[in-house]
Amino acid sequence: MPPYLLGLRLGGRRVLVVGGGRVAQRRVPALLAAGADVVLVSPEVTASLEGLIDAGRVAWHRRPYRRGDCAGAWLVQAVTDDAKVNGDVVAEAEAARVWAVRADDAESSPAWTPASGQAGETTVGVLTGGDPRRAAGIRDAVVEGLRDATLESRHSRQKPAGVALVGGGPGDAGLITVRGRQLLAMADVVVTDRLAPAQLLDELADDVEVIDAAKIPYGRTVTQDRINDHLVEHARQGKFVVRLKGGDPFVFGRGGEEALHCARHGIPVTVVPGITSAVAVPSAAGIPVTHRGVAQEFHVVSAHVAPGHPESTVDWEALGRAGGTLVLLMAVERMALIAAALMRYGRSSDTPVAVIQDGTLPGQRAVTATLGTVADEMAAAGVRPPAIVVVGDVVNVAREIDMIRADMGRDP
């Protein structure tokens, strides 16, 4: 007969785990996440369990199981490698009318642990008649569907109110966060950036209103004031508004301005961080912005105004003296002036530079140069925005990786 599924609320309740091996290592963190008071009985434990014990999160009795250990437990997990011990543990629990799970023998286990997963506030549990691999496969499919919003209703009763500022990541639609994708699927109105992953818009329902808030350099643009007004106007109509941005809303994305504007008008705001292009794009090109023995720091700079411009707040002199990595955004049109300033303030003309255009997208391409040649190399290659400029010796790490791969690919 089929089992009766039940969600146990274990907060503050004693749960006994007998065994300290790999099965216990999987189950104990889930019990802790449910708020259980976990008592572990085992002569030895794995390193991960020892870390939880050292942190005071698990009480450990460093010895074999003894009759009487089940006393006071609300739930018992018998997960040792010894079938006899597991049987004895379950027998004691049964006699005390305490539910017990036996990991090594599903047929002899009074209770089964479902393959479980979490997607937001939704918990998924799957049982398939004692077949754990099949249960895990079904669990994964359901959780993935919830996380990528393919199973999420736009009319969910848990739809947030007001405005969500969602970071869409560096360009590739697969790099938006799970939460960002969920909220996008619930939107009534989407106010989108030019650099937001456009592919995601094709997944929206037909009745979702999409407002183009593109800001094209030296071209058509929507003012920030008008964008702010869009957010408030639609939210006041009771619609859930998603402001979809490229990168992260609070990294040169004016998310702070939009959050302030909504707050001043009493509109609740949910902020969903995104993967910033300042780190993701160099990574996609094989360049670590930090590397042991090479760079212990990196600086992210908005270069939308050139060095020496009255509106510039960047301390170019300090950056020229610094030895860490520089990641420059919006620098394409001003790279000659930036390179000159960095060299004037101390950076060597031989400093490696990489320029990555359309990072994470199918058309991604990179130009490598030095600080002394980068402006000419960019002009010759026809580099255009959006592009990320990386200045520093970390560029050579990517070159080394490429050389190793090339050597390994050659015929012996």
CA-to-CA distance for 379 and 389, rounded, in angstroms? 14
- Among candidate residues 400, 395, 290, the one with its CA nearest the CA of residue 350: 395
The one catalytic residue among 37, 172, 193, 248: 193
Q: Encoding tokens for residue 392? A: 């520093």
CA-to-CA distance for 346 and 9, rounded, in angstroms? 62
CA-to-CA distance for 58 and 49, rounded, in angstroms? 8
Q: What stretch of H or E contains 36?
A: none
Beta bridge partners of 117: 124
Helix (H, G, I), strand (E, B) or coil at 354: strand
Q: Encoding tokens for residue 194? A: 């030019």
The CB density around residue 47, as the number of other CB atoms within 10 Å, is: 7
Cα 88 from chain centroid (whole Å):
44
Whether 128 contacts 135, CB under 8 Å: yes
Among this protein's residues, is 84 annotated catalytic?
A: no
Among this protein's residues, is 229 annotated catalytic?
A: no
Strand pairing class (37-41; 241-245): unpaired
Amino acid at 123: T
The one catalytic residue among 140, 215, 239, 315: 215
Q: Which residues are catalytic?
A: 193, 215
